[in-house]
Amino acid sequence: MRLLTLFGLLATLATPALAQLEPGDAQAGRGLAANWCANCHRIAPGGPGPATDAAASFASIAAMPSTTSMSLRVFLQTPHAGMPDYRLTREQLDDVVAYLLSLRR
Ligand code: HEC
């Protein structure tokens, strides 16, 4: 079931031009990140640091050439060691991805 969702997602986002059109609200995403991600990730440049350095800052994640809307969505919808298995709603996912990509300079 989750795999099917993933394939559907990949099919929808396979066109790079489409992937650039971020449906999310970066401001809302920042709020979500402050609540859910800031324990482990530095979510804003110059912001308060997390208790651990095991996870990369959002700015450095955004700066990686391999980071795309699609890669973030796939990552956040698959379980990962060291990171809680969030069940983000579609809207929350859009918002967090929009926020992360907004950090790209
Ligand atoms: C409990 C700590 C923790 C929390 C909370 C957490 N993360 Fe992570 N995150 C990690 C760790 C550890 C890694 C590295 C895991 C890996 O490389 O497999 C990671 C990796 C990532 C990556 C991939 C970075 C890369 O190198 O490709 C992204 C994107 C990410 N996190 C986003 C988020 C978002 C968005 C949230 C909030 C919804 C969040 N994380 C919450 C610990 C956390």
Per-residue model confidence (pLDDT) at position 89: 93
Q: Could you give the CA distance from residue 76 to residue 37 in angstroms, rounded to a whole number?
A: 11
Q: What is the mean pLDDT of each run of 10 residues along the chain (105 residues)?
A: 58 50 91 92 84 86 96 91 86 96 90
* 32 Cα–ligand 1 center, Å: 14
Counting ligand 1 atoms within 8 A of each CB, the residue from 30, 32, 36, 37 with the most, and so the one to mutate, is 37
Per-residue model confidence (pLDDT) at position 1: 57
* 76 Cα–ligand 1 center, Å: 8
Half-sphere exposure of 87 (CA within 13 A, CB side): 1
Per-residue model confidence (pLDDT) at position 34: 94
Q: Is 46 left (phi over 0), alpha (psi -120 to 50) or beta?
A: left
Per-residue model confidence (pLDDT) at position 74: 93
Asked whether the beta carbons of 10 and 85 are under 8 A apart, the reply is no
Per-residue model confidence (pLDDT) at position 19: 46
The closest-lying atom of ligand 1 relative to the alpha carbon of residue 33 is 37
